Amino acid sequence: MKGALPMLTRRNSLLLIAATLGLAACGGGNWETSYTPVAAPAANFRLAAVSVTVPNTLTVSESETVYVPKADIVWVEEPAGDRRAQVKAIFEEGISAGASGLRGATPVRIEAVVQKFHALNMKSRYSAPAGTGVYDIAFVARIVDARTGAVLVPDQLIRADAPALTGAAGAQEQAQGKTQRKANVAQISATIAGWLGLGPDNRTSFRRMGG
């Protein structure tokens, strides 16, 4: 019995190492929030509409058998349903909030095409090792004149990656009502605001396992 505790501790350590290696194998490395800020013309823009497309070609996973499912869309926090429609709503809300400060004379429409929206499945949210987990978000955005359709800001790839809480921290965050949906809407909003010069420049990069 004297050796039971060290053996248990070592076993737990090995399990943690295995889980961490599993995350590393599935996804890990460099992440970023990145964009090229819209220049002075943005001061003359007024938000008239937001249009978001989630292509049917994007793959969707609701797998709970691995920490990081291989798919373009990983979204399971909301009730079962059309995941593309749910992701579309998240982007519409985030972009609309981030661009709400546009008060110029020219009515514009922001058009976005989702490239990737990889949030956490519940396996990662509640049991992945601390210090892992990434919201992997990418989309192409442009700005057009809402009246004529003329392109005012051409297509640009925008990344809005952000660290995500997992394990005990993730469970605590969820219990406090700080859902993944709220976190992702806020991240998209902050990124759009930074892109348009309406808020702080939130461009950054980080290293983390997940995504």
Domain boundaries, the chain: 4-209
C-alpha span between 195 and 204 (Å, rounded): 13
CB–CB of 141/111 below 8 Å?
A: yes
Domain covering 4-209, topology: Rossmann fold (3.40.50)
- Three-state DSSP class for residue 38: coil
pLDDT at 11 over 50: no
pLDDT at 139 over 80: yes
Which pLDDT score, from 0 to 100, does residue 3 have?
43
**DSSP of 184-197, one letter per residue?**
HHHHHHHHHHHHHT
pTM of the model: 0.86
Nearest C-alpha neighbor of 114 from the set 149, 89, 146, 82:
89
Which pLDDT score, from 0 to 100, does residue 56 have?
98
Question: Where are the alpha helices (H) located in the chain, listed in sequence order?
Answer: 4-26, 83-98, 122-127, 167-175, 180-196
C-alpha span between 208 and 136 (Å, rounded): 11
